[in-house]
């Protein structure tokens, strides 16, 4: 027997959704980004009469990488400006991955730009690398600030590398990462004052200003203005903290006009609890119950200092909530049959989908021990009410354990390949689940997973 509980399938409430063509949001967004890069290359092409000799080719390559680096900086910021259209279409985790990739490209382009420009100028002046570097930094307008910005950008890249992030808390990394904004501010001026593609070309200058001003306005609006406005309007407070399982608590929150938030099952907020020790950081936690006009609920497992402190929250504590974020919602569904595959506290967004998704829905919930199955009473009630199936799989006792393999999953769900899958759990479990689902014949495009490892 591989499950602790197996409820009988009955008549499913709700109407199965019709198949809808997938909206190519990621492809469209990538086309827009690459079209912008093509426009930047066109700026160089139209401003370059000819390229002569090795010095000309090196300098030209330096100009191209500099323009692309400047454009990549704007893209880098725009991807994490938390624009609802992007977030709800692409998903926060995909935006975070693109942001990380854009950061690596940006640092590489900046380094290439510096080396190529110095090399090309050295061949032109015949003054030596050291002399040319000193001249560029000390004598050219805005280059001292640009040099400081470059060092900050490289430093941010170093602390964002995987080996470095594993050695520091998320909060420490987050605040060090904010140095990116200062680096871009310091480096911006030298592009217009020194760049051959901008000097004397007013339309190009205005276009560059518009690009950066637009991205900056979007960043300020969605990262600062909107959260403050919503905090003042909705006045969220902690109503109750309730234990759900060992190390797991639910936090109930009340407020005003909560329906205006537009939250959907499967989404999350960044919660900032205005109490000593917690006010300075915002943690991403999913809603663990469908949003109501008068209250919201999150369920959190103690996995660090911030999450553990939530068990000690007092009723009446003020809360700022940024969001809702994420595309892990019913909008991704394309199939009549759905499998919800949860691991540990990953049950939280899937619990909301289990209650609200129409059609035929099956839930598989994996945990270490039976007592770690948070919200189990609610899940059983939902399954009974809608005639759905819920499987609980635990590692202990061994008699109820089941490996996360294609064969084991197919035993629980015989027509597994016909299901759309919503997956949420710890990184190791999620990776094993994706592999098992591929082996079982579930197409990659029908496996939906949103990670909180930003």
Q: Is the pTM of this model over 0.85?
A: no
Tell me the HSE value of 101 on the side-chain side, using a 13 A CA sphere.
8
Strand-pair partners of 232: none
pLDDT of residue 171: 67
* Element of type H or E holding 364: strand 360-367
Report which DSSP code applies to 316.
Answer: T
Tell me the HSE value of 317 on the side-chain side, using a 13 A CA sphere.
25
Q: Using CA atoms, how far apart are residues 156 and 339, in angstroms rounded to an integer?
A: 40
pLDDT of residue 282: 83
The lowest-confidence range among 16-25, 165-174, 281-290 is: 16-25
pLDDT of residue 189: 86
Q: Are strands 337-343 and 283-286 parallel, antiparallel or unpaired?
A: unpaired
Same domain, 142 and 212: yes
Same domain, 221 and 250: no
Residue-wise pLDDT tens digits, 392-415: 998 887 766 778 899 999 999 989
pLDDT of residue 302: 82
- The residue that leads in pLDDT, 382 or 195, is 382
Residue-wise pLDDT tens digits, 270-323: 999 999 888 888 888 999 999 999 999 999 998 777 788 899 999 999 999 998
* Sheet architecture: strand order including 283-286: 283-286, 268-273, 318-325, 236-245, 248-254, 295-301
Q: Cβ–Cβ contacts within 10 Å for residue 72, how many?
A: 24
Q: Is residue 4 part of a domain?
A: no
The two tokens of residue 327 are 């595309």
Percentage of the chain beyond pLDDT 70 is 92
What Cα–Cα distance (Å) separates residue 374 from each residue in 80, 247, 348? 32, 10, 9
Same domain, 115 and 173: yes
CATH number for the domain that contains residue 304: 2.40.30.10
Q: Using CA atoms, how far apart are residues 345 and 348, in angstroms rounded to an integer?
A: 6
- Through-space distance between the first and last CA atoms of the chain, rounded to whole angstroms: 37
- Which of 229, 259, 293 lies at the terminal end of a domain, its last residue? 229
Task: Tell me the mean pLDDT in the region 319-346.
Answer: 91
Same domain, 320 and 340: no
Residue-wise pLDDT tens digits, 239-271: 999 999 999 999 999 999 999 999 999 999 999
Q: Is residue 454 part of a domain?
A: no
- Which of 263, 297, 325 lies at the terminal end of a domain, its last residue? 325
Angle at 347 between CA 300 and CA 325, to 5 degrees: 70
Q: Is the dihedral of CA 444, 447, 448, 451 positive or negative?
A: negative
The two tokens of residue 277 are 């020790």
Residue-wise pLDDT tens digits, 104-123: 899 999 999 999 999 999 99
Print the domain residue range for 34: 25-229
- Which of 229, 258, 290 lies at the terminal end of a domain, its last residue? 229
In SS3 terms, 200-225 reads as CCHHHHHHHHHHHHHHHHHHHHHHHH
Same domain, 40 and 133: yes
Same domain, 218 and 78: yes
pLDDT of residue 399: 66
pLDDT of residue 236: 96
What Cα–Cα distance (Å) separates residue 261 from each residue in 221, 226, 234, 291, 429? 16, 11, 9, 9, 32
- The residue that leads in pLDDT, 159 or 440, is 440
- In 3D, which of 412, 396, 9 has the Cα closest to residue 404? 412
Same domain, 106 and 201: yes
The two tokens of residue 73 are 């900086």
Percentage of the chain beyond pLDDT 90 is 54
CA 163 to chain centroid, in Å, comes to: 19
Q: Is residue 18 part of a domain?
A: no
Same domain, 216 and 99: yes
Same domain, 298 and 353: no
Task: Tell me the mean pLDDT in the region 119-143.
Answer: 89
pLDDT of residue 188: 86
Q: Is residue 275 part of a domain?
A: yes
CB-based contacts of 27, cutoff 8 Å, min separation 6? none
User: Residue 172 pLDDT more than 80?
Assistant: no
Same domain, 161 and 66: yes
Same domain, 184 and 73: yes
Q: Is residue 9 part of a domain?
A: no
Same domain, 208 and 246: no
Whole-angstrom Cα Rg for the chain: 26
CATH number for the domain that contains residue 340: 3.40.50.80
Number of domains, the chain: 3
pLDDT of residue 267: 94
pLDDT of residue 176: 76
Q: Is residue 2 part of a domain?
A: no
> Given its phi and psi angles, is residue 326 left (phi above 0), alpha (psi -120 to 50 degrees) or beta?
left
Q: Is residue 204 part of a domain?
A: yes
User: Residue 100 pLDDT more than 90?
Assistant: no
The two tokens of residue 200 are 């004397």
Q: Is residue 11 part of a domain?
A: no
């Amino acid at each position: 027997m591989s499950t602790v509980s197996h409820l009988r399938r009955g008549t499913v409430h709700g109407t199965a959704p019709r198949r809808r063509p997938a909206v190519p949001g990621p492809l469209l967004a990538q086309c827009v980004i690459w079209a912008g890069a093509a426009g930047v290359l066109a700026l160089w092409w139209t401003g370059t009469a000819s390229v002569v000799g090795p010095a000309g080719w090196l300098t030209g390559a330096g100009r191209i990488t500099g323009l692309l680096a400047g454009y990549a900086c704007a893209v880098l910021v725009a991807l994490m400006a938390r624009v609802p259209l992007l977030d709800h279409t692409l998903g926060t985790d995909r935006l975070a991955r693109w942001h990380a990739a854009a950061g690596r490209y940006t640092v590489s382009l900046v380094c290439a730009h510096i080396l190529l420009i110095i090399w090309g100028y050295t061949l032109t002046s015949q003054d030596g690398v050291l002399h040319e570097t000193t001249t560029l930094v000390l004598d050219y307008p805005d280059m001292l600030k640009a040099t400081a910005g470059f060092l900050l950008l490289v430093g941010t890249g170093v602390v964002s590398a995987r080996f470095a992030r594993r050695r520091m808390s998320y909060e420490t990394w987050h605040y060090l990462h904010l140095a990116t904004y200062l680096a871009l501010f310091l480096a911006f001026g030298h592009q217009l004052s020194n760049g051959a593609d901008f000097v004397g070309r007013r339309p190009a200058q205005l276009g560059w200003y518009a690009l950066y001003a637009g991205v900056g306005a979007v960043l300020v609006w969605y990262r600062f203005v909107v959260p403050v406005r919503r905090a003042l309007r909705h006045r969220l407070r902690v109503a109750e903290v309730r234990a759900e399982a060992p190390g797991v608590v639910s936090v109930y929150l009340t407020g005003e006009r909560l329906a205006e938030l537009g939250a959907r099952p499967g989404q999350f907020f960044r919660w900032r609890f205005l109490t000593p020790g917690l006010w300075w950081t915002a943690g991403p936690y999913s809603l663990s119950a469908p949003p109501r006009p008068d209250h919201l609920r999150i369920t959190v497992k103690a996995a660090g200092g911030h999450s553990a402190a939530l068990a000690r929250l007092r009723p009446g504590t003020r809360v700022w909530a940024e969001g809702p974020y994420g595309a892990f919602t019913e909008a991704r569904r394309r199939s009549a049959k759905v499998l919800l595959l949860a691991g540990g506290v990953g049950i939280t967004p899937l619990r909301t989908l289990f209650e609200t998704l129409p059609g035929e829905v099956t839930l598989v919930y994996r945990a270490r021990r039976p007592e770690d199955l948070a919200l189990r009473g609610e899940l059983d009630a939902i399954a009974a009410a809608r005639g759905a199936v819920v499987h609980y799989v635990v590692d202990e006792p061994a008699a109820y354990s089941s490996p996360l393999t294609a064969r084991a999953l197919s035993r629980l769900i015989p027509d597994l390949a016909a299901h759309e899958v919503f997956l949420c759990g710890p990184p190791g479990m999620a990776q094993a689940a994706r592999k098992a689902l591929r082996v079982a014949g579930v197409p990659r495009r029908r496996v939906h997973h949103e990670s909180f490892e930003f």
